[in-house]
Amino acid sequence: MSCRVIAWRLLAPAVALSMAAVPGMAQATGKNGKVKAREGASQVSRQGQNLGVQTKIQTTVEGSPKSAKSGSLTPANSNWDPPACWYEPAYSPKQIQAAVKAIRKVKVFGVGDLVGGAFDAYFKDGNPYKDYNLDKQGEGLFWAAAVDEKRKDAPDAKACDKLPFWVPNGATPKEPLAVSPKILAEYAYDELPVPGTEITMAPEGTTKVNLPTWVWLDKAKFKKVSVTASIPGSGLSATATAEPVSLSVDPGTQDAETYPASGQCPIEGGKIGAPRAKGTPADTLPPCGVQYLRSSGDGSYNLRSTLTWRITWTSTTGEGGDLPDGEFGAEQRVAAEEIQSVNR
């Protein structure tokens, strides 16, 4: 590691305290097809011992769940996570120059001159940039690290440790973690709002030992949902779409059977499971359900239902494909009682 980078890291805590807001940045999120943006200044943020920026990524949601309860997906592949950090277009030459000037105005313990000097060595004195690249104003931007606030404590949030680097307009950085349609799609994955997995059961709450309990989902609540992530002015945009594919039912005890035997209830005809019609014999086996073989006594079993969502993505560049399936589940208590009989 070069002495310049070491010096930058040692000065980073001071820079985080002294760096002024730089105009022209924005952070935005959205819901239900509407974009919500906070325009104006965005402060340089400290990423570990390096410097970065608040992301400019905007998100919009289509097909937001009708359920009042919603949550985020957990990747079914435990070896995969959405990106914790990336590099994105951040500062023009004039913005970098203005930021360094603002730093130099901090006179406490000489921090301004010390930190400003480190910035000038990198952006002004030819190591590697000269005069903040002012002669290239309008021809490109300095890209800097951004960290997903949801994952800022994840180990890979520290992977983006490079100093801001220059990228001409229209050029694609060779940096693997530079924001791309795939990274935007993975970011959108992490923003997908899915409805709470609220199953309906018959009988509800309390069931009988050795008699099946029917389980189903309200198909009106479980439809496709999409999130589009984009960076304004970049032309980059990607959409992640989640579609429910199956329901996993875990009875909460080994003394039970599931229907089907795998415990995986597929979507058939746009719905998962089926309501038990009035007049259905009590011992009729359901297309999706559970049968407890032993009483829960004075307590209850913790039944967990987990919905699996298939995730696909598309982008403005024509790239697309599959992302790891996502899961979202819920638990509810079920009491299993012995069938009482009276001998006369």
Residue 31 phi, psi (nearest 5):
-145, 150
Tell me how far apart the alpha carbons of residues 174 and 298 are, in angstroms, rounded to a whole number: 63
Inter-CA distances, 24 with 54, 120, 149, Å: 12, 21, 21
β-pairing, 206-208 vs 320-337, is: parallel
pLDDT in tens, 225-269: 999 999 988 889 999 999 999 999 999 999 999 999 999 998 887
pLDDT score, position 113: 85
pLDDT in tens, 62-73: 986 655 567 889
Percent of the chain whose predicted confidence (pLDDT) is above 90: 57
β-pairing, 70-71 vs 200-202, is: unpaired
Tokens representing 153 are: 């404590």
**Residue 297 CB partners (closer than 8 Å, separation 6+):** none
Tokens representing 294 are: 């032993």
Residue 133, H or E segment? none
Residue 35, H or E segment? strand 34-38
pLDDT in tens, 277-299: 988 998 899 999 999 999 999 99
Residue owning tokens 């530079």: 178
Global pTM exceeds 0.85: no
**Helices marked H in 157-196 — which ranges?**
181-191
Strand stretches in 50-205, DSSP E: 50-53, 58-62, 70-71, 74-75, 85-91, 140-147, 165-168, 194-195, 200-202
Tell me how far apart the alpha carbons of residues 240 and 185 are, in angstroms, rounded to a whole number: 5
